[in-house]
Amino acid sequence: MSADPIIYCLEHLTDYWQFERLCSDLMAAAGYPAIDPLGGTNDRGRDAIDRTESVVGDTIFAYTVRVDWRKKLEEDCQRIKAEDHRPLKVIFVCTSALAASEKDKARRDVLATFGWELELYDLERVRVLLTGPHRHLIAQHPAIFCPPFFPQVGGLSIAQSPDTVVIDHVSTDHALASWLARKLSLDGYLTWSVGIAPLAGESIDASVRTLLQTRAAQYIPILSPAALKDRDFMDRCGAAGTRADFLLPCWSSSLMEALKGSRLGSIKPARFDTGWAGGLREVIAQLNSRAVKRHHSTEAGRAIALRAYFPEPVVSDTPGPVFANVFPATVPDSILICRLDRPLTEAEVVALRRVWAFVEADQTTLLSFIEPPATVPSMNEPHLPAYSWADIDRREGKRSVDVVKELVWRSLDVACAGKGLSWCDNRHVFYFPNPKVGQTNAPIRHVDGRDTHVAMNGQRQYGRGVRASTFQYQLGPRFRVGRDERGAWWVTTKLYVRVVDTSGVPFELKDIGRRRKAVTRSWWNKEWLARLLGVMQALRTHGSEIQVGSGARAVTVSSVPVKWSCPISIDVAALERARSFEQEMDELRALAERDDVDEDEDEDDSVREAGDE
């Protein structure tokens, strides 16, 4: 067994991809800052490359953990020659201990055979770099330099490397601290937060203090009334405050009075009590002014965050279609003006809107694309006056474009009523009512031409055991009408998920979101698309179109969504693998949420939080 822990870890490493990353980081720190890691299985003989503009030719890097390093060197050189790369220098990094004579012979042979300069980094040379000027890389590669030789605290190596933004908080500020850690990670900073770190079995106070000494480039405590009462937390803030430009306090609520006259109160905080977005900008500005280095670029940080959710690529280079929840529409050229001989009652307006799309200009003037029904108390003009909405910007006190938008979505409301959808006075939306037994299965023609069906409503169970309850859900459309720069009209359709108890009474406040999650938790893009098609195709009146009115005065909306051809596509197989993992994690989160709800109800059933849907 090697006496040196660095040598032992390098000799026994099993993760070749991590070794490639270590080598590239080491080369970047050793004089090749422009190194471009290639790696993978299609690198054409190059693990990395450095294209320095000041010289003619490239520097190619090759890494290996194989014991037969000399054979691997020859194979790599032959591959580089076969690919016609023509480098000026080849840098070869290995985990073997080489004698001086072996290095000299390898350099002579590569120069004589290929005409390239060879530079070797063997086990001992790598060790010297990692114990000297580049020791910080040990902490950044915990998969190689792992316990027990290189201890960790809170999941972070405590080898000396002050490169991490440490976020400290008490339990009541967990949401803000977690959000801040994610946002800073996306911006390229290395972050560590008490609330999301693996600290089981460790002393939180001791672990944070250790990280402040070994890994912290900046200490960000989240201050709140609850935090001020935590003695260990405040002691850590006091200790950190003795280091210049090291402490960056963040207020989750106003603490002017509580900190008045204290040393901590004399440090200007980042104010999250007036808005999280503003607080984040203040934190990033201070990190920049204090020269806290980003570990990645903003783009790389976002890519790393994305890989945390999708560990394998889900995008394919093959072309594929993209569908939007947007549907083309056409409207008549003119708007009719209907004068009433008396104002309509509220009940008359409600009943009329189910069969006729109109806009109220005033109490006795209605605007519409379509002739009014006979029940409308009009002034019995033989021909209703009309005006061209495209030529007249404003009429009857209303902008013509706004009138057209309202008439289109009110026409779609008429279509919903005509197809038997119910109206919810509570949420102001049409929905597919639940049948007495089972669910409503709407037949659809999918975008790929398949004939299938999809549920427009149904029944679900919420909770577990004796607390389990049954509820119903119903889907309904919400429409937004717009016009593009070419003058074409379109309708954007969004699905509304209405949740009610078994007697049909809608849920309120937090109960809405909880039950919606129970319904839509497993719905991904393809499930939403199928239900969107089900809603629009259920409203069809003529072929693939939803038509309200007739002839030149009809409003028509296509049930076929807008489609584009994209040069790349989604790898469905990879997405399904990611989906199965996410669904498993989602189930675990759902169980945790239900447990939290059960505990809340046990503590106080009378407490209800005000809010909206």
The per-residue pLDDT for 34 is: 83
What are all long-range contacts of 249-253, with beta carbons under 8 Å and residues at least 24 apart? 249/220, 249/221, 249/223, 250/176, 250/180, 250/220, 250/221, 250/222, 250/223, 250/279, 250/283, 251/223, 251/224, 252/173, 252/176, 252/222, 252/223, 252/224, 253/224, 253/225
Q: Are residues 223 and 348 in the same domain?
A: no
pLDDT digits (tens, 9 = 90+) for 247-264: 999 999 999 999 988 888
Q: Are residues 224 and 286 in the same domain?
A: yes
| 54 inside domain | yes
| 611 inside domain | no
Write the CATH number for 237.
3.40.50.10140
Give Dmax (Cα) for the chain.
110
More confident residue, 113 or 13: 113
Confidence bin at 238 (pLDDT 50/70/90): very high
Give residue 367's domain range.
Answer: 328-565
| 242 inside domain | yes
Q: Is the pLDDT of residue 352 over 90?
A: yes
Q: Which of 33-42, 349-358, 593-602 has the lowest mean pLDDT?
A: 593-602
More confident residue, 22 or 55: 22
Q: Are residues 15 and 84 in the same domain?
A: yes
| 587 inside domain | no
Q: Are residues 253 and 377 in the same domain?
A: no
The per-residue pLDDT for 308 is: 52
Domain boundary among 108, 139, 170: 139
Rounded-to-integer distance, Cα 292 and Cα 217, Å: 7
Q: Are residues 286 and 397 in the same domain?
A: no
Residue 516's nearest CA partner among 453, 469, 473, 548 is: 473
Q: Is the pLDDT of residue 176 over 50?
A: yes
Q: Are residues 429 and 548 in the same domain?
A: yes
| 219 inside domain | yes
Q: Are residues 115 and 176 in the same domain?
A: no
Domain boundary among 80, 112, 139: 139
pLDDT digits (tens, 9 = 90+) for 62-104: 999 888 899 999 998 998 898 888 888 999 999 999 999 999 9
Domain boundary among 139, 170, 187: 139
| 558 inside domain | yes
Q: Which of 134-148, 192-206, 393-407 has the lowest mean pLDDT?
A: 134-148
Mean pLDDT, range 42-53, rounded to an integer: 72
The dihedral through the CA atoms of 196, 198, 204, 206 has a sign that is negative
Q: Is the pLDDT of residue 283 over 60?
A: yes
- The most confident of 38-42, 181-185, 352-356, by mean pLDDT: 352-356
Q: Is the pLDDT of residue 599 over 70?
A: no
More confident residue, 600 or 575: 575
Give the number of domains in the chain: 3
Q: Is the pLDDT of residue 43 over 70?
A: no
- Residue 148: is the preceding peptide bond cis (ω within 30°)? yes
Mean pLDDT, range 296-314, rounded to an integer: 61
More confident residue, 20 or 412: 412
Which pair of structure tokens corresponds to residue 192? 């560590």
Q: Are residues 343 and 428 in the same domain?
A: yes
Mean pLDDT, range 103-115, rounded to an integer: 94
pLDDT digits (tens, 9 = 90+) for 550-597: 999 999 999 999 999 988 887 766 666 665 555 544 554 454 444 444
Q: Are residues 245 and 359 in the same domain?
A: no
| 588 inside domain | no
The per-residue pLDDT for 55 is: 52
Rounded-to-integer distance, Cα 400 and Cα 384, Å: 17
Q: Are residues 500 and 529 in the same domain?
A: yes
Q: Is residue 352 within 8 Å of 373, Cβ to Cβ?
A: yes
More confident residue, 555 or 319: 555
Of the chain, the percentage scoring pLDDT greater than 70 comes to 87
The dihedral over CA atoms of 515, 519, 524, 525, expressed in degrees to the nearest 10, equals -100
Which pair of structure tokens corresponds to residue 51? 């294209």
More confident residue, 269 or 161: 269
| 201 inside domain | yes
pTM listed for this prediction: 0.54
DSSP 311-375: SS--EESS-EEEE-SEEEEE--SEEEEEEBSSPPPHHHHHHHHTT---EEEETTEEEESSPPPTT
Of the chain, the percentage scoring pLDDT greater than 90 comes to 61
Q: Is the pLDDT of residue 2 over 50?
A: no
